[in-house]
């Protein structure tokens, strides 16, 4: 199911979400302008490779692709799909968290997702790239922050438009990722990164919301 829009209005312009989308698009355009040898060199330098990450950890070095890989995409469909999901759900999460916390949250859930992918295949020398782990974190946060929102979705096979509660859409999406992680692990898609990013975003937001409630109770 493809989400088309949600029912939750934003109170502010989602500057960080817009900047993230623009930056991802600019990086992708740059990737496409590289010749083939330069393109592979670019991926070797900035995409995440689990085996190289573990080697960097053993050497006591920071592995920059832990961050840079979130802004790379392997194709136009990969890019457009990720940026569309970020636009649908990211504006409201940014609205709630505010810009500074939102960008930290985005990077944190992206890192959680990448580390989960590493645990699933720590000897892999295949480059991993994409924003989907961080965006999955945004979706997990949306589930907690906006449980009463609704999402208009397109069922492509029919085709058919249907508006359903956001939690139903998000849980269905999560279950698909989870099942795919068990059944389609070698498909080239980092399913466990999606699962971990989603759970990371969900847990962080539950913890943050509970902390806010305790602070409000203490101030009363």
The average confidence (pLDDT) of the chain is 92
Domain ranges within the chain, ordered by starting residue? 2-219
Distance of CA 128 to the CA centre of its chain: 13
Question: What is the per-residue pLDDT across 80-107, written as a single tens digit (0 to 9) for each?
Answer: 999 999 999 999 999 999 999 999 999 9
Question: What is the per-residue pLDDT across 45-59, written as a single tens digit (0 to 9) for each?
Answer: 999 999 999 999 999
What is the side-by-side order of every strand in the sheet holding 2-6? 2-6, 150-155, 160-165
The long-range contacts involving 168-173, CB below 8 angstroms and separated by at least 24 positions, are: 169/1, 169/3, 170/139, 170/140, 170/142, 170/143, 171/143, 172/1, 173/1, 173/139
Q: What is the topology classification, in CATH, of domain 2-219? A: Rhomboid-like fold (1.20.1540)
Predicted confidence at residue 185, as pLDDT, reads 59
């Amino acid at each position: 199911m493809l989400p088309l829009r949600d029912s939750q209005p934003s109170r502010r312009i989602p500057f960080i979400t817009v900047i993230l989308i623009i930056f991802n698009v600019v990086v992708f355009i740059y990737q496409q302008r590289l010749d083939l040898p330069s393109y592979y060199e670019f991926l070797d330098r900035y995409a995440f490779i689990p085996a190289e990450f573990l080697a960097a950890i053993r050497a006591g070095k920071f592995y920059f692709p832990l961050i840079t890989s979130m802004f790379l995409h392997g194709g136009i469909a990969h890019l457009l799909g990720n940026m569309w999901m970020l636009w649908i759900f990211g504006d409201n999460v940014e609205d709630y968290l505010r810009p500074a916390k939102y960008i930290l949250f985005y990077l944190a859930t992206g890192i959680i997702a990448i580390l989960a992918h590493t645990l699933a295949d720590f000897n892999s020398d295949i480059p991993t790239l994409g924003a989907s782990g961080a965006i999955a974190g945004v979706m997990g946060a949306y589930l907690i922050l906006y449980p009463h929102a609704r999402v208009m979705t397109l069922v492509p096979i029919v085709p058919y438009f249907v508006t359903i509660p956001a939690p139903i859409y998000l849980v269905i999406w999560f279950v698909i990722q989870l099942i795919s992680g068990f059944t389609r692990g070698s498909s080239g898609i980092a399913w466990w990164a999606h699962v971990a990013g989603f759970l990371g975003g969900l847990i962080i937001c539950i913890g943050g919301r509970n902390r806010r409630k305790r602070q409000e109770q203490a101030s009363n």
